[in-house]
Amino acid sequence: MHKDRFTAPDYYQLDELFTSEQILIRNTARDWVKAHISPIIEKAAQDAVFPKHIIPELGKLGAFGPTIPPEYGGGGLDYTSYGLIMQELERGDSGIRSTASVQGSLVMFPIYKYGSEEQKRKYLPKLASGEWMGCFGLTEPDYGSDPGSMKTHFEDKGSYYLLNGAKMWISNAPFAEVAVVWAKDENGKIKGLIVERGMEGFTTPETHGKWSLRASATGELVFDNVKVPKENLFPNASGLRGPLGCLDQARYGIAWGAVGAAMDCYDSALRYSQERIQFSKPIASFQLTQKKLSEMITEITKAQLLCWRLGNLKNEGRASTQQVSLAKRNNVAMALDIAREARQIHGAMGITGDYPIMRHMMNLESVITYEGTHDIHLLITGEHITGVSAFR
């Protein structure tokens, strides 16, 4: 891969809207990505290997559970700082941001929000440092957009719960020590359980052959009569609102992360267009190239503003599920469009691993599907503005 010459676009001087602490956090993450992700990510993606050696470094960076209070090992940061970290990680690669999103928003957050004090003390510090990695099991082979119809279930056997079922498309599953699993009790109520690697009957086969998020490990969670200790049930989560509440956190991080991927594609396309000569001129001098680049920076700037405002609303505890949905949907689609246009500007070089474009583009095909598909988020907005649900 070419040397990472990334320069972040800031067309509307948005840096003036962040605090000096937020800028420091953002720049630390930016420098870390340049030093530790850019040199290795292309090979990791080509080889379809998650670079596990970065886990302790991500922990030290504070990428796992940035908003969790320090008494549990988290960073105690505000949501804008959290978003900026996700932006920088996804600038490096969506798979790296995914790993951090799952750990922080989908594993640490539910333990913090729904867990007992013992569960928090046992799991959160180790997850924050990366000593343990976690995964989040909601999706099943037959239930993706409709998680409320899940089949995975458990029975109360007196001294333990007996868990049966299967989850599919689970990020971090192949190596996670801890799985936050959503399953139905005997009354059909959705509850959350913490399942640990090593419990008899629990396996995590890896999903191979992905053309997307190749530097992130994805797998299944299979529960065959797994005896889960009673103390591993979340005492404070009941119904679909438990897992959906976690998704709001992760979707928020994705809205920021997608901006990072878009910025990387734009930055690369701008530089390439200034350096690539055709018809005796840089291709940046052609109107059609300028149209592409101008539209890219316009859309990136709008998405940056959306994130900044959403971050402030979240810091004030006022960001709604629907506002998060709108930002996730808009920003991921924006990033994917920009990746495709950037690929055009790079010509044939755009399909190679010498540039990050194709990797971002393929990654974003997962990002536009997971955490609620593009169309599901449209329907969430549609339901909110019309008052009528179009899901069923």
Could you give the CA distance from residue 136 to residue 182 in angstroms, rounded to a whole number? 8
147: contact with ligand TGC by CB under 6 A: yes
383 given a catalytic annotation: no
Query: Which of 292, 206, 262 shows the shortest CA–CA distance to 90?
Result: 262
Choose the stretch contacting ligand FAD; rule: CB under 6 A; options: 116-124, 166-174, 293-301, 349-357: 166-174
Active-site pick, 200, 295, 371, 383: 371
232: contact with ligand TGC by CB under 6 A: no
Q: Which of 1, 17, 240, 378 binds ligand TGC (CB under 6 A)?
A: 240
Q: Which of 30, 306, 366, 368 binds ligand FAD (CB under 6 A)?
A: 366
Cβ-based nearer residue to ligand FAD, 144 or 229: 144
Choose the stretch contacting ligand FAD; rule: CB under 6 A; options: 37-45, 225-233, 322-330, 362-370: 362-370
Could you give the CA distance from residue 354 to residue 37 in angstroms, rounded to a whole number? 15
β partners of residue 288: none
Least Cβ distance, residue 280 to ligand FAD (angstroms): 44
Could you give the CA distance from residue 265 to residue 103 in angstroms, rounded to a whole number? 26
136: contact with ligand FAD by CB under 6 A: yes
Could you give the CA distance from residue 138 to residue 125 in angstroms, rounded to a whole number? 24
Q: Which of 157, 239, 281, 298 binds ligand TGC (CB under 6 A)?
A: 239
Do strands 281-282 and 190-196 pair parallel, antiparallel, or not at all (unpaired)? unpaired
Site for ligand FAD in 7-36 (CB under 6 A): none
Integer angstrom CA distances of residue 337 from 55, 78, 109, 262, 340: 31, 30, 31, 9, 5
**Cβ proximity of 288 and 278 under 8 Å:** no
Q: Which of 178, 247, 357, 364 binds ligand TGC (CB under 6 A)?
A: 247
Site for ligand TGC in 317-356 (CB under 6 A): 321
Query: Which of 113, 118, 74 shows the shortest CA–CA distance to 232?
Result: 118
Query: Which of 325, 215, 255, 250 shows the shortest CA–CA distance to 65?
Result: 250
Q: Which residues does the annotation mark as catalytic?
A: 371
Residue ranges in contact with ligand FAD by CB under 6 A: 102, 135-139, 144-145, 169-171, 213, 218, 366, 369-371, 373, 375-376, 379, 391
